[in-house]
Amino acid sequence: MPLVTSTEMFKKAYEGGYAIGAFNVNNMEIIQGITEAAKEENAPLILQVSAGARKYANHTYLMKLIEAAEIETGLPICVHLDHGESFEICKSCIDGGFTSVMIDGSGLPFAENIKLTKQVVEYAHDHGVVVEGELGRLAGVEDAVNVKEEDSSYTRPEDVFEFVSKTGVDSLAIAIGTSHGAYKFKPGTKPQLRFDILEQIEKNLPNYPIVLHGSSSVPQDLVAIVNQYGGNMPDAIGVPEDMLRQAARSAVCKINIDSDLRLAMTASIRKHMGENPADFDPRKYLKPAREAIKQVVKHKLSYVLGCSGKA
Ligand code: G3H
Ligand code: 13P
Ligand code: ZN
């Protein structure tokens, strides 16, 4: 099966009350871990590439690795640009074979976000590519995405219809309390998502696919392994999995997960090197790291997203 857009995936996910996993990829082992998990679960898949990942691994290398994974698995795979910040990067990814792009105008004033998103949608649709836009701002820090808590804001349900109808965008990322990275909620506080805002958005945009970013759950056992083997991660709290399950049953059709894979990979490599300090063959520690990613993704697909068996 050739690489696909997310159109059909979202339609089925919306009707079926589940969500598609969108996992960030940076190298071969990450791509293999994710796609082997999806194959075993027979799940549709979105592999997403950030600007930082393109800089690190090179567009062509990532594209060819994803094409190899698609040949190996035979699964419907959508290749998506994560957090595109300009028309130029979206165009470059569309011209370079991606089937989906995100234009993240969430930091712009409303009218400018509409203008930029519409420009990307016109180019993308002319080339058979779909577009994700964003309204509202998530807090959090990752390589190219860095928003202070005081600069974050929830999506305003009264804005979504105008944004979608004026831009023609195919899906919409919203801010309801998730955030990027491993430190989403303060230790000692109860994690909360604004499901009331999500419900309002669903009412204002019937039958329309919603996207949740910042949806790692930051498993404490993995943080403990990192710290046991020389790491120094402060108390980290992610989005509880039952909340993600609840979101997956609603209009949320795409759930973005990156930090949990980073954590699984890092915990595995730290543990391996801690227990085998003389090892210097990268295959010795990358093999269990790839397996650790696979196990995390299998769990997400089956237990959190509900998309096992839906490919
Ligand atoms: O939301 C951002 C993604 O997790 C990608 O992070 O920009 O560090 O590659 P990155
Ligand atoms: P996490 O940092 O919670 O994994 O979120 C990833 C993300 O939203 C990528 O766009
Ligand atoms: Zn994101």
Each residue's pLDDT tens digit, 157-206: 999 999 999 999 999 999 999 999 999 998 888 999 999 999 999 999 99
| Catalytic (active site) residue 170 | no
pLDDT at site 267: 98
Query: Rounded to whole angstroms, how far apart are CA atoms 73 and 32?
Result: 10
Q: What ligand has the least distance to the C-alpha of 80?
A: 2
pLDDT at site 188: 86
The Cα-based distances of 64 to 39, 129, 144 in angstroms read 18, 18, 23
Q: Return the number of other C-beta atoms located less than 10 Å from residue 190's C-beta.
A: 8
The Cα-based distances of 269 to 209, 227, 238, 286 in angstroms read 37, 12, 22, 7
Q: Which of 29-38, 132-141, 219-228, 274-283 has the lowest mean pLDDT?
A: 132-141
CB-based pocket (< 6 A), ligand 1: 24, 50, 52-53, 82-83, 142-145, 180, 258
Domain 7-305 in CATH: superfamily?
Answer: Aldolase class I (3.20.20.70)
Query: Rounded to whole angstroms, how far apart are CA atoms 59 and 214?
Result: 23
Q: What ligand has the least distance to the C-alpha of 263?
A: 2
- CA torsion angle for 176, 179, 180, 184 (degrees, to 10)? -150
Residue 214 CA, ligand 1 centroid: distance in Å: 10
Q: Is the pLDDT of residue 293 over 80?
A: yes
Token pair for residue 277?
């300090």
pLDDT at site 145: 63
Residue 80 CA, ligand 3 centroid: distance in Å: 12
Cα–Cα nearest to 169, from 132, 114, 217, 207:
132
Span between the terminal Cα atoms of the chain, in Å: 11
DSSP character at residue 190? P
Query: Rounded to whole angstroms, how far apart are CA atoms 245 and 54?
Result: 31
Q: Is the CB of 257 under 6 A from ligand 2?
A: yes
- What atom in ligand 2 is closest to the CA of residue 180? 2
Query: Rounded to whole angstroms, how far apart are CA atoms 268 and 265?
Result: 5
Tens-digit pLDDT profile for residues 73-129: 999 999 999 999 999 999 999 999 999 999 999 999 999 999 999 999 999 999 999
Q: Please, how many CA atoms are within 13 Å of residue 133, restricted to the half-sphere of its CB? A: 29
